[in-house]
Amino acid sequence: MPQMTIRLPPNEMVVAFGRRTAVAAVEYDPGQFDPGRTFENAPRLPNNERKKVMKPLLPALMAAVLAAGAVSNAHASDDPWVLRFGAHVVNPKSDNGQLAGMKASIASDTRPTVSLEYLITPSWGVELLAAVPFKHDIRLDGTTAASTRQLPPTLGVNYHFMPDAKVSPFVGAGLNYTYFFSTKGQGPLQGTRVKIDNSWGAAAHAGIDVQLSPQWLLTADVRWISISGDVHVNGTKVGTAKVDPLVYGLSFGYRF
pLDDT digits (tens, 9 = 90+) for 69-110: 444 444 455 889 999 999 999 999 988 888 988 999 999 999
Q: What is the pLDDT of residue 77?
A: 57
Domain with CATH 2.40.160.20 in the chain: 78-255
Half-sphere exposure of 207 (CA within 13 A, CB side): 25
Q: What is the pLDDT of residue 50?
A: 45
Diameter of the chain by CA atoms?
103
Q: Mapping DSSP to helix (H, G, I), strand (E, B) and coil, where does residue 153 land?
A: coil
- Kindly state the average pLDDT of the residues 200-213: 98
65-67-68-70 Cα dihedral, nearest 10 degrees: 130
CA distances from 90 to 107, 122, 222, 252 (A): 9, 29, 10, 18
> What is residue 30's DSSP assignment?
T
Nearest to 251 by CA among 80, 88, 123, 119: 88
Gap between the Cα atoms of 209 and 102, Å rounded: 42
Q: What is the pLDDT of residue 100?
A: 87
78-255: what CATH class?
Answer: mainly beta
Nearest to 193 by CA among 234, 226, 154: 234
What is the chain's length? 256
